Amino acid sequence: MCINFKFCVFLFIASAYGQKCSFKRPNGTEVSPDEIKYGIVLDPIQDTASPGLILLTYITTDVSSISTPTTSSNKGRFFMTPSFQNNQFQVVLADIFADYEKYETKDSNSIYVTFNCNGGTTTTLEIILRIIDTNNHDPQFVNAPYSYKVSMPLPKNFPLHVLYGISARDVDLTNNNITFFVNESDINSQGFSASWLATDSVDTKLHRASLITTTAINFKNDFSFKVYARDTGSNPRTVSAPVTIIVDKDNSILRFAKPIYIADYSDLTPEVANGTIFTFQQGDILLSVGADDSVKYYLQEESNEYQENFHLITHSNGSIKLQLINPPSRFFNESFVLLILNATKPGVDDIAVLHISLPGRSTYKNSSISTTESPKIEFSNDDSADSTALIVLGVLLAVITIALIVMIIIYKRRSTPVVTEKVNGIQEKNEDMVEVERNSSNPVSSARRSVAFNDIVQEIKIARL
């Protein structure tokens, strides 16, 4: 009731000024003041929902326009698109919702829409969308494929991931871990182990993996295997990425395939001897690791008498042949020759022992001791007219001496832990070096061979005395 005109104008303005926006659902029910105050919670949708889905429709009263909306996304992305037209307010799912999990880590997202009401007031609605996670994304390897150029041999527990990180990301909202592994039945990945290492501190969907050797590895050629990542969602998804190990031949150690090569040429006759290319029981003399053009070979004939009579024929693939040139006639009076073959290139070397039995003067060839790893050691007897008893005694003495030496060697091998070569700054104890040899027809344990070699040389030297 107007008492006077001025008061009536005041009342009209006041009521117009205080006019509020109101919203109705399509079924006619009013949106309550509490919902307006605390936010409109939409029906939850799956992360696989299609963009364009209508999330909300309101019929508005006394709304003149809407202002630019804001979003709860910390990157300012709008996964819901509000629109206002002909007193109808609508919210639809935006196109970028398809990538929601790539950008967001929360299972709920809001937009804030401010309505300008006819009376001059404003009303802000928070529209809250809850997202139901499904395991709809594969984990994805980051920076794959992985490739490692390494020197051989690799010691046990060598962490390859330190050289180049392995990681995978799984964007699914509720997948909070990834497991990593290698295929146990793949021959190429034997000797390697992959496992979960850490979650990235910044990007919590990124998980890092470790890739380590579970045994000493000594490969001649490059090879590949796969590392797998599996997410923790329901119906877990598994992906793989290739890992390639490139053998750094330049920096790898040199390694003869065998520490010792034995040949029996006790039937060699002077007529056919010149030009003989020796054949060894252990096969071709071969550098199994590190062979290339830069390798230099030195051949040392132990007695120094026949140094000039041996000629090496080398090949860049590591295969080496030994040829006899113009042997003097006294050569055929020897019962054996012993040669040390040294292969070197900057920083690395390896040696092999070559033992060749010759026609010689030995009466008791068959009394020689022969094992798989040591050469035939023969005893020459200058005075062949000596009594049998003396010979038998001599042989017995020799056998006892050898047995003693062997015992000492065995004792030494058991009691002395041998520290093998330092590769990539990691020193490995001999007992841990369980070597895996591939691409080599006849694997020889590297740790064993370094010990075995010294023993054999010792054995031979003692035997020659």
Ligand X SMILES: *[C@@H]1O[C@H](CO)[C@@H](O)[C@H](O)[C@H]1NC(C)=O
Chain residues binding ligand X by CB under 6 A are 25, 27, 29, 176-177, 179, 183, 185-186, 196, 199, 274-275, 286, 298, 315, 317, 319, 325-326, 329-330, 333, 342, 344, 349, 351, 361, 365-366
Task: Please report how close the Cβ of residue 169 comes to ligand X at its closest, in angstroms.
Answer: 14
Specify the residue, 11 or 187, whose C-beta has the smaller distance to ligand X.
187
Specify the residue, 20 or 24, whose C-beta has the smaller distance to ligand X.
24
Specify the residue, 73 or 188, whose C-beta has the smaller distance to ligand X.
188
Task: Please report how close the Cβ of residue 426 comes to ligand X at its closest, in angstroms.
Answer: 22
For 390-416, b/e burial (b = at least 16 CB within 10 A) is: ebeeeeeebeeebeeeeeebeeeeeee
CB 158 within 8 A of CB 433: no
Q: Mention every residue, 6+ apart, whose C-beta is less than 8 A from residue 145.
A: 241, 242, 243, 244
Task: Please report how close the Cβ of residue 27 comes to ligand X at its closest, in angstroms.
Answer: 4
Q: Mention every residue, 6+ apart, whose C-beta is less than 8 A from residue 91.
A: 42, 54, 55, 56, 80, 81, 82, 83, 111, 127
* Residue 76 Cα distances to 39, 72, 103, angstroms: 19, 7, 10
Of 369, 348, 344, 261, the residue nearest 310 (C-alpha): 261
Task: Please report how close the Cβ of residue 1 comes to ligand X at its closest, in angstroms.
Answer: 37
CB 93 within 8 A of CB 111: no
Alpha carbon distance 145, 191 (integer Å) = 19
Task: Please report how close the Cβ of residue 25 comes to ligand X at its closest, in angstroms.
Answer: 5
For 97-112, b/e burial (b = at least 16 CB within 10 A) is: beebbeebeebebbbe
Specify the residue, 15 or 317, whose C-beta has the smaller distance to ligand X.
317
Task: Please report how close the Cβ of residue 156 comes to ligand X at its closest, in angstroms.
Answer: 22
Return the number of other C-beta atoms located less than 10 Å from residue 3's C-beta: 8
Specify the residue, 215 or 335, whose C-beta has the smaller distance to ligand X.
335
Specify the residue, 193 or 199, whose C-beta has the smaller distance to ligand X.
199
Cα angle 286, 291, 297; round to 5: 75
Task: Please report how close the Cβ of residue 391 comes to ligand X at its closest, in angstroms.
Answer: 12
Specify the residue, 104 or 231, whose C-beta has the smaller distance to ligand X.
231
Specify the residue, 18 or 159, whose C-beta has the smaller distance to ligand X.
159
Fill in the amino acid letter for 214.
T
Task: Please report how close the Cβ of residue 195 comes to ligand X at its closest, in angstroms.
Answer: 7
**Tokens 């939409």 belong to residue:** 42
Specify the residue, 25 or 106, whose C-beta has the smaller distance to ligand X.
25
The H or E element that residue 388 is part of is helix 388-415
Tell me the three state secondary structure of residue 400: helix
**Tokens 């003097």 belong to residue:** 328
Specify the residue, 50 or 274, whose C-beta has the smaller distance to ligand X.
274
Of 161, 164, 440, the residue nearest 290 (C-alpha): 440
Of 334, 328, 357, 356, the residue nearest 266 (C-alpha): 357
Task: Please report how close the Cβ of residue 84 comes to ligand X at its closest, in angstroms.
Answer: 19
Specify the residue, 28 or 76, whose C-beta has the smaller distance to ligand X.
28
CB 147 within 8 A of CB 244: yes
Task: Please report how close the Cβ of residue 143 comes to ligand X at its closest, in angstroms.
Answer: 20
Task: Please report how close the Cβ of residue 199 comes to ligand X at its closest, in angstroms.
Answer: 5
The phi and psi torsions of 11 (rounded to 5 degrees) equal -60, -45
